[in-house]
């Protein structure tokens, strides 16, 4: 390599080192135990005055949901579904592992939310994200920044309950929220059959990382580009995870720095209803007057993929009884890849059991 080449290489290495040093000065991005300087300074200076920000462009009119994919128009808002009796899972506070250290959430939430350029609400159309949506909207409305809310739904394709995307849209439109749908180019079943050739499991949850998290990050990138600020955009990424659902979720910090933060955006990951009970969730939904997902009326204790690999056997059997065509498709994929749906039973065995027995009691699952 000649002297010019060496000089160019040295300049490149120097630039990379400078960028790395700058990123470290901005604080760690893992969000667990980190307390970035920008956030500490912001909390210290917060005085309740609205921050100057550019408004996001108004979204194009959303297409009307197709009647073929819409769930039943309205369902009774009973706090407990009548078709079957779910068995709740409640992890008592005293039995939980310590919550990982996160960032401090100020007492004055109204002033706090004013400091964000985008308030992103992740919605599956399930009960927890629905209750969270109602709560965060009310908070933003009081702060006068409801126009900064963007609701995002991760479209899971065939793996999703029929009509879920349309319901998520209706729920967001009830509050006048901008609604975005993100999806991977190929849905989960295609990914299982032709790419991974194995089902996800508790240790390999690529269904979440590939079909949800990475797609939302792409949306965040687009929203920051729309803002076109001369400083890092501040994004509040809201998720409806609750501590009551599992030991793993109980340990999550209610507020942390999101790993997708970079030089152009500071993203905080907030779990607004982390401490709520299931009863509080249903009370909030009932008070809102907004339709909830029909899967709960069938007896499902949680809403996820129709056939979540982490779900209890009774929940999977109930889902198979109400989605026979999709169940047949899962059997076909299982045969094609030669990999059992779970270590305990194949999907074909599960469907066979569902055809023989009526599910009267559904166990919730942890994960």
Do 173 and 307 share a structural domain?
A: no
Do 269 and 303 share a structural domain?
A: no
**Residues β-bridged to residue 201:** 204
Query: What phi, psi does 295 have (nearest 5°)?
Result: -60, -30
SS3 (DSSP) at 210: helix
DSSP letter (8 states) at residue 241: -
SS3 (DSSP) at 245: helix
Do 340 and 269 share a structural domain?
A: no
Instruction: Note whether 209 and 242 are within 8 A (CB).
Output: no
Q: How far is it, in rounded angstroms, from Cα 142 to Cα 84?
A: 39
Domain end, chosen from 263, 288, 313, is at 288
Domain holding 169: CATH number?
Answer: 3.40.50.620
pLDDT at 362: 86
pLDDT at 364: 77
Question: Alpha helices of the chain — where are they, by DSSP H?
Answer: 3-25, 37-45, 109-114, 127-143, 164-174, 188-190, 206-208, 214-227, 247-250, 278-288, 294-298, 313-322, 324-337, 347-356
First to last CA, the chain: 54
Q: Within its chain, how far is the Cα of 28 from the centroid?
A: 22
pLDDT at 19: 45
Q: Which domain holds residue 261?
A: 96-288
Domain end, chosen from 270, 288, 306, is at 288
pLDDT at 101: 62
Q: How far is it, in rounded angstroms, from Cα 105 to Cα 109?
A: 8
pLDDT at 366: 67
Q: Is this structure's pTM higher than 0.85?
A: no
**Residues β-bridged to residue 265:** 233, 262
pLDDT at 58: 55
> For residue 126, is it within any domain?
yes
pLDDT at 54: 60
pLDDT at 83: 37
The stretches in the chain having pLDDT less than 50 are: 13, 17-33, 50, 62-99
pLDDT at 41: 75
Do 177 and 250 share a structural domain?
A: yes
pLDDT at 9: 54
pLDDT at 359: 81
């Amino acid at each position: 390599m000649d002297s010019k080449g060496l000089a160019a290489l040295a300049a490149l290495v120097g630039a990379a080192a400078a960028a790395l040093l700058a990123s470290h000065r901005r604080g760690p991005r893992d969000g667990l135990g980190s307390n970035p300087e920008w956030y500490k300074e912001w909390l210290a200076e917060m005085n309740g005055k609205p921050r100057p920000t550019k408004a996001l462009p108004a979204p194009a009119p959303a297409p009307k949901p197709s009647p073929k994919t819409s769930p039943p128009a309205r369902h009774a808002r009973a706090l407990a579904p009548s078709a079957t009796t779910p068995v709740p899972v409640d992890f008592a506070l005293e039995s939980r592992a310590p919550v990982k250290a996160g960032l401090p959430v100020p007492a004055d939430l109204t002033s706090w939310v004013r400091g964000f350029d985008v308030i992103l609400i992740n919605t599956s159309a399930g009960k927890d994200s629905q209750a969270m949506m109602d709560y965060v909207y009310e908070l933003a409305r009081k702060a006068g920044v409801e126009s900064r809310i963007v609701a995002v739904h991760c479209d899971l394709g065939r793996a999703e309950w029929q009509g879920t995307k349309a319901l998520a849209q209706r729920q967001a439109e009830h509050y006048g929220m901008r609604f975005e749908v993100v999806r991977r180019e190929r849905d989960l079943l295609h990914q299982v059959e032709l790419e991974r050739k194995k089902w996800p499991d508790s240790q390999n949850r690529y269904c979440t990382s590939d079909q949800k998290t990475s797609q939302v990050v792409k949306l965040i990138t687009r929203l920051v580009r729309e803002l076109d600020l001369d400083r890092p955009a501040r994004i509040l990424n809201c998720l409806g995870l609750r501590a009551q659902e599992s030991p793993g979720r109980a340990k999550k910090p209610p507020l942390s720095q999101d790993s997708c933060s970079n030089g152009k955006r500071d993203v905080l990951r907030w779990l607004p209803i982390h401490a709520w009970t299931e009863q509080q969730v249903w009370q909030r939904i009932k008070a809102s007057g907004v339709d909830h997902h029909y899967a709960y009326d069938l007896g499902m204790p949680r809403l996820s993929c129709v056939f979540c690999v982490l779900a209890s056997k009774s929940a999977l059997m109930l889902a198979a009884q109400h989605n026979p065509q999709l169940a047949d498709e899962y059997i076909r994929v299982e045969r094609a890849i030669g990999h059992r749906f779970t270590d305990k039973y194949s999907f074909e065995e599960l469907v066979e059991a569902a055809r023989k027995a009526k599910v009267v009691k559904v166990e919730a699952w942890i994960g």
